[in-house]
Amino acid sequence: MGGFQGVTISGVKYTWVGNLAYFIVRSLLNPCTSRSIRNSLWVALRYHTPHLRTPDIRAPGVCQIHSFFFKVPISNLLIPMADAEPMLVPAPGGEKRACHALEEEEVDHSTKRPRVQKEEKNGGPSHKLSQDEGEEPEGEETEPLDEDGEGEGLGSGEAFAEMMKHGLTELDVGILKFVSEHQGFSGILKERYSDFVVHEINKEGKTVRLDDLSVPEEAEEAPVEQPESQVFTEEQNQQLEQLQLFKNKEGNVSIEVADDTKEKRTLVHKAVKTLYPGLETKTEEREGKKFIVAYHAAGQKALAEVKEAAAPRKHSWPKSRGAFCHFVLYKENRDTMEAINVLSKFLRMRPNVFSYMGTKDKRAITVQEIAVLKITAERLSHLNKCLNNFKLGNFCYKKHPLKLGELQGNHFTVVIRNITGTEEQVQQAMSSLRETGFINYYGMQRFGTTAVPTHQVGKAILQDNWKEVIDLILKPRPGAEKGYLVKCREEWAQSQDPEAALKKLPVKRCVEGQLLRGLSMYGKKNIITAFAMIPRNNRLMYIHSYQSFMWNTMVSRRIEAFGLKAVEGDLVLRGGTAFVLSAAEAETHSIQDVVMPLPGFDVIYPTHHVGKGYREMLSADNLDIDNMRHRVRDYSLAGAYRRILIKPSDVSWEVINYEDPRVSLVHTDVEKLEDQPPPVFNKEGKYRALRMEFSLPPSTYATMAIREVLKMDTSIKNQTQLNTTWLN
C-alpha cells in the first residue's frame, strides 16, 4: 500500500492514511447509502486491503458490513484526501455523535400552529409548521426503504444536485425583500446537521435542556416479591442484553421455567419487558417443559407479527404519582414523529400516549419536552442503552400531558460555514437582525423541494380541479428523482392504471402510494374520496402552502410600496381582532404592529391598494375572495393574521476560524453531560464560520432570519449550488 496514491469513487478522490476509516465506515454502515455507492466502496476496500480478508459479497447489506467491521482492526482504510478542499461526504446523513447503538425507521407527521398569529380556521388550526420547528418539508417525499434499509435512486450527491436544478428559488414563492441595508455575504447553511441546534422554550419561558439522566426516586416501580434483576442468571442477563443490542445471532433467548406456575411465568415475562425494552416474550412447550422465549420486537419477521400492547394497567400505577412522565428528548438527525414512533415500538405502546408542544426539525440537533402516559422514568431511561441518536433525561411526574402550541418559542444555535463576509459586514448584519429583525416570510420548506410546488397543488384543490390535483402529484416531473418514483410516474402517465402504478412502489406510505391506493379502491370517478386516503394533515398542507404563497407575495408588495412604517389602511391586532388604521392612528404605530392576512372567509384585508391586490391575485387564479368556502369542509379557508416583521431575542454571535470541516462547532447537551471538552478553534484555521444564537416565537422560520443576515437565497437549490461550487 505504500505506493498507492489514491482512488476515485463516483467522481470523489480518496486516499489511504493510517487513522480511523472516517469515510468508509460512516458510509458503509449508513442505511441511507445507496446500493451502487456501497458496492463501489466495498469493491475498492476488498481490492486495496487484501490483508483484511473481506468477504466476497456484492453490495453487502448493513448487517453484513456491521458484522465484518466489528471483527477487524479499523485502520489503514479510505478517507478523503487530506490536502483536498473541504468536501461533503457523499453518504447522506452520516454524521454520528454521542448516542450509541440502534436506529429505527422514519415516519412523517404534521402538527398544528401555535396561536402566535390568529388561528387558521379551516376545520382547525394550520397543520404546517416551519421546518425550523421540526416538521418535514413535504409528505410527498417520504422515502421508503428496501429490505436492507437502503433508499433507491438518489444515492449520490450528484443526483440530488441534478434534481435541485429544477427546484424552487425564493423568487418563485414571493420572498423578495430585505429590511436591512448592510452588504450581504455568502455562507453554507446546514453543511452538517450539527450546525443547526434547536432548544425548545416551554410555556414558563424556560429553555429546555438535557442536563440530568438520573431517575427520580419516586419514579421507581413498587417492589415485587423477587427483584426483577434477580429473576435471571448472569448468563441469561448477558444473552438478553446481547439480544437487545442485535448482537445475538440466534435471534432469541429461551429461558426454562423450572417452577412451572402462572405466577413464575408472569414474573419472567414482566422482568424481560421491564429490564430489556424492545424485547417481546412468548411461552412455548418443548418435550413437556415450559420455556419463555424472548425475541426482538423490532426484528424483521417479528416486527410484522408483534401486536401493539394495550395501555398499562391502571391499578399498577401509584395514586400519589402523576399520571404523566415528562422528560427531555435530545435527538440528532431525526424528526419528532419519527422519534415518537421509535419510542412507542420499544415500549410496545401506541404513539398516541405521547404528547408534545411542537414538532422539531429533522436535519438538526433538537431538544424538547415530551410527556407519556403511565410509563415510568425507569423504563424510559433503559432506552438510553439501546437507541441511537436519542437521549432521554430530566424525568419528572405531572398530572397533565403537553398540548400542541403551548411552547413560547425556540432557541437556535446556528453555524454558517465558509462565510465570505468581513468582520465589519458580520457586525452590521447581526446588529441589524438584533435591532430591526426580519420579514416574517414563510420559509422555503413550506413549498416542497421538487419541481412541482405544493402551493400549485393547493391552488388546484381550491379551484375544485381534481384532475389537475391528481396530475400534479402523479405526473412525471423534471430532474433526477428516486428510481421507484420515476417508474411509478411513468407507469401512470402511460396507462393511467392506479393498480399498475402502485406496484412500482416498494412501500406504499408515501403520498403517491396513498393516492394510488385510493384511486384503486374508489375509482377515478371518485377522486375526492380517493384523495382523502392521504392523511388529513398532508392534504391541508397543500392549501396552507397556497395561503403562504399569497401572504409572501402580498407582504413583498407591501414592503415595496410603503417600506418599514405603518400607513393608513394597514391592519393591526387588538385582543385578537383586526382593525384598519386611520392616518392618525398610523402615526402612533410601528411596522412591528402591522399584520397581513392569509386569505379566507373570516378575515378583513388592508384598505390601501396593496390590500386590493389580494382580490386581483385570487381572481387571476380563478378564485373568489368573497367565497373562500369549499364544498369539502376541510378545504374551506377561514384565514388568519401574521405579523410582517419579527425581532429575535437573545441575539449573540461570533466568527470562528477552524481547520477541520468535519468537526462540530457546537458543544451539545450530551457532550456536556459526558464531560467532553468544548470544541477548540484554531485562530489560524483556513476556514471561517459565523456561529449565531437567537430565540424566535412559534411559527416563525429561523431560515428567514439567516436569510436577512446573509442576504442570499436560502433555497435548497441555491445551497446545493454553493456546496457544489465549494467542492469543485
- Do residues 128 and 448 make contact, with C-beta atoms less than 8 angstroms apart? no
Residue 609, Cβ density class (10 Å: 0-12 exposed, 13-18 middle, ≥19 buried): exposed
Q: How far is CA 379 from CA 273, 310, 433, 465, in A?
A: 9, 16, 44, 51
Task: Give the per-residue SS3 of 278-344.
Answer: CEEEEEEEECCEEEEEEEECCCHHHHHHCCCCCCCCHHHCCCCCCCEEEEEEEEECCCHHHHHHHHH
Distance CA 509, CA 552 (A): 31
- Do residues 596 and 590 make contact, with C-beta atoms less than 8 angstroms apart? no
- Which of 454, 643, 437, 633 has the alpha carbon at shortest distance from 551? 643
| Cell numbers for 574 | 387588538
- Do residues 591 and 558 make contact, with C-beta atoms less than 8 angstroms apart? no
Q: In DSSP terms, which residues pair with 578 in a beta bridge?
A: 573
Based on its alpha-carbon atoms, the radius of gyration of the chain, rounded to whole angstroms, reads 27
| Cell numbers for 699 | 411559527
Distance CA 218, CA 666 (A): 34
- Which of 144, 195, 193 has the alpha carbon at shortest distance from 488? 144
Please confirm, yes or no, whether 626 is among the known catalytic residues. no
- Do residues 187 and 418 make contact, with C-beta atoms less than 8 angstroms apart? yes
Give the chain's end-to-end CA distance (angstroms, integer). Answer: 28
Distance CA 515, CA 513 (A): 5
Per the residue annotation, which of 108, 195, 335, 361 is the catalytic one? 361
Query: Quick check: helix, strand or coil at residue 647?
Result: coil
| Cell numbers for 357 | 408542544
Which amino acid, 179?
Answer: V
- Do residues 457 and 542 make contact, with C-beta atoms less than 8 angstroms apart? yes
| Cell numbers for 565 | 412604517
CB atoms near residue 590 (< 10 Å): 12
Residue 193: HSE in the Cβ half-sphere, 13 Å Cα cutoff: 20
Buried b (16+ CB within 10 A) or exposed e, 441-473: bbbbbbbbbbbbbbbbbbbbbbeeebebbbebb
| Cell numbers for 717 | 437549490
φ, ψ at 166 (rounded to 5°) = -105, 10
Q: In DSSP terms, which residues pair with 366 in a beta bridge?
A: 198, 331
Report the helix count and the strand count for the chain, using DSSP H and E: 22, 21
Residue 491: HSE in the Cβ half-sphere, 13 Å Cα cutoff: 18
Residue 498: HSE in the Cβ half-sphere, 13 Å Cα cutoff: 22
Strand order in the sheet with 289-296: 252-256, 289-296, 279-286
Residue the block writes with cell 429561523: 702
Q: In DSSP terms, which residues pair with 254 in a beta bridge?
A: 293
- Which of 4, 156, 149 has the alpha carbon at shortest distance from 78? 4
| Cell numbers for 697 | 416565537
**DSSP per-residue codes, 215-263:** PPGGGSPPP-SS-GGGSS-HHHHHHHHHHHTT--TTSEEEEE-SS--HH
H or E stretch at 429: helix 423-435
- Which of 340, 103, 54, 410 has the alpha carbon at shortest distance from 245? 103
Distance CA 680, CA 678 (A): 6
* Residues annotated as catalytic (active site), given as ranges: 361
